[in-house]
Structure 1
């Protein structure tokens, strides 16, 4: 399977962390938290946590603190199809492929639910053929891009499709919550909105870089599910995030990487690029320690985190796009994602420009 192109989309408005804090401090929700919680929010939003700005599907930042189920659902219903469609259309434009030549569309999300699924709306926006296969992967969390790519590879290998779009979209501002749980508070400071789409095919593109998917692996650890998952409270999604997430992310990423190396005859010293899900500053630090990497090695992910926050499933495709455009050397790369489950995924890429 070859990558033909990547398309990206974010909401028009972005908000500095300091602006979010300033608005939050004036909101009644803030006053309802404990003093310990208020101190934590001030520390995270005003400190150096690796995030400068986040794009959010809001007209004004105060809307982020209106925790009403109908308003949250309306935000997802409006912006998720729109952003996914924008990212997918950009991928098609970059590859110079028309919508009628797409055989299948896979859409991932965990921040909202529609029936029919998002794929129905995105296919309509793009004008895909009525015969195209439409698939929705819902609830895979931050790691969803990689299992979606695995499913695309299976469709291509089976001969049932020649060109496939994978779109990952999250409206995290439609899945936010505030209470005195530290993990919930950190989540409110961490996540942003965005979408990324990958156009995939059985042959390399006629122009631009050649990126071949060259062997994947995965690991599921349900015994660690409670460390990272969505809960439901007052009709809203509430993200549970424990302090163990950075170490668990690194540990399971190592398991996946070692398994992939054994299966595909690779070694770490062969790699010229490391592309990680931008899960957070502490997650990237834990990955650097586990794999003996430098800050330069994780710069594609750090850059995404700095400018967008953690966008959940689109993040690793944003990082891959950054790496392809910003001088990461050709050769063998490792693309990895992880998230709720606890789940972890990775794939080797053969990159030639």
Structure 2
């Protein structure tokens, strides 16, 4: 399987963490939450948390604090199809292919639910063939990009189709929830909205950089499900985020990396570019220590986190796009995501 094109999309509105704190402090919610929640929000939004800004699908930050099921559902429906189609159109444009060339589309999300699913909206907006194979994957959280790509790999390997469109789209502002739980408050300060897409093909593009999917593996540990997950409360999604997440992410990411590199006869030092999901600054630091890397090794993940926040499943597409734009050195690249489950996935790429 080869990556033929990459595309990303975000809402136009950019909000700094200082602006987010100011909006929170003047909202009705500020008075409804306790002093501890105020301290947590200020600590996250005033100190160096690795994030400077986020893109949110709202015209004003005041809208963020209207939190009810109908408002959030309308926000997801209004923005998820648009972001997904924009990212996909960008990926198609860079692939040298056209919409009718695509035999399958796979769409992942965890921040909203539609029936019929998002794939149908993408088919309509992009003018994909009526007989395109369409898959909607839900509930995999921040880790979803890799399972999405693994399904694309299976379809291509089985000769079911020649080209697959992979999309991850998250409207985190449509999954906003507030209460006095520190993990809930921190989540509200971390996540942004965006979509990422890739065109995967059996054969590489005739020109340009070649990115080949070599091998992958997954690790799912249900006993740690409570460490990071969504739950339904009052008809809305409530994020559960615990202090154990950075250590879990680093440990499982190490296991996945060791497994795939071991099978390929490679060492960590053989990896020339790291395309990693960044749950947050503390997660990146934990992975840096666990892998024995430097901050520079994770510079693409850190840069995307700083400008966009945690984009959940879409994040790794932004990191891959950044590495390609920077002409990162050819060789072995490592692509990895982790999230709810607790799950972790990794793939070895060969770039030339």
Deviation track 1:187-244 (CA, whole Å, cap 9, x = no partner) reads: 0000000000000101111222100001101100001000000011111101000001
Once residues 215 and 96 of structure 1 are traced to their aligned partners in structure 2, the CA distance between those partners, rounded to angstroms, is 25
Aligned to 1:214: 214
1:264 to partner: Cα distance: 2.7
Once residues 271 and 146 of structure 1 are traced to their aligned partners in structure 2, the CA distance between those partners, rounded to angstroms, is 18
1:110 to partner: Cα distance: 0.3
Matched, 1:339 2:315: no
Once residues 297 and 269 of structure 2 are traced to their aligned partners in structure 1, the CA distance between those partners, rounded to angstroms, is 13
TM-score between the two structures when normalised by the length of structure 2? 0.99
Aligned to 2:120: 120
Superposed, 1:58-73 pairs within 5 Å as 58-73=58-73
Once residues 83 and 274 of structure 1 are traced to their aligned partners in structure 2, the CA distance between those partners, rounded to angstroms, is 25
SS in 1 for 2:258: helix
Once residues 261 and 5 of structure 1 are traced to their aligned partners in structure 2, the CA distance between those partners, rounded to angstroms, is 25
Matched, 1:267 2:267: yes
1:328 to partner: Cα distance: 2.0
Aligned to 1:324: 324
Once residues 208 and 146 of structure 2 are traced to their aligned partners in structure 1, the CA distance between those partners, rounded to angstroms, is 22
Aligned to 1:12: 12
SS in 2 for 1:82: helix
Once residues 113 and 303 of structure 1 are traced to their aligned partners in structure 2, the CA distance between those partners, rounded to angstroms, is 30
SS in 1 for 2:231: strand
Aligned to 1:44: 44
Aligned to 2:185: 185
Superposed, 1:124-143 pairs within 5 Å as 124-143=124-143
Deviation track 1:116-169 (CA, whole Å, cap 9, x = no partner) reads: 110011111000001110001101100100011000000001111100000000
1:44 to partner: Cα distance: 0.7
SS in 1 for 2:161: coil
Superposed, 1:96-115 pairs within 5 Å as 96-115=96-115
Q: More displaced, 93-102 or 307-316?
A: 93-102
Once residues 22 and 269 of structure 1 are traced to their aligned partners in structure 2, the CA distance between those partners, rounded to angstroms, is 44
1:327 to partner: Cα distance: 3.5
Once residues 7 and 316 of structure 1 are traced to their aligned partners in structure 2, the CA distance between those partners, rounded to angstroms, is 11
Instruction: Please list every run of at least 4 consecutive aligned residues from structure 1 whose deviation after the TM superposition is greater than 6 angstroms.
Output: none
Once residues 5 and 124 of structure 1 are traced to their aligned partners in structure 2, the CA distance between those partners, rounded to angstroms, is 20
Once residues 301 and 262 of structure 2 are traced to their aligned partners in structure 1, the CA distance between those partners, rounded to angstroms, is 26
Q: More displaced, 277-286 or 93-102?
A: 93-102
Superposed, 1:125-164 pairs within 5 Å as 125-164=125-164
Aligned to 2:313: 313
SS in 2 for 1:229: strand
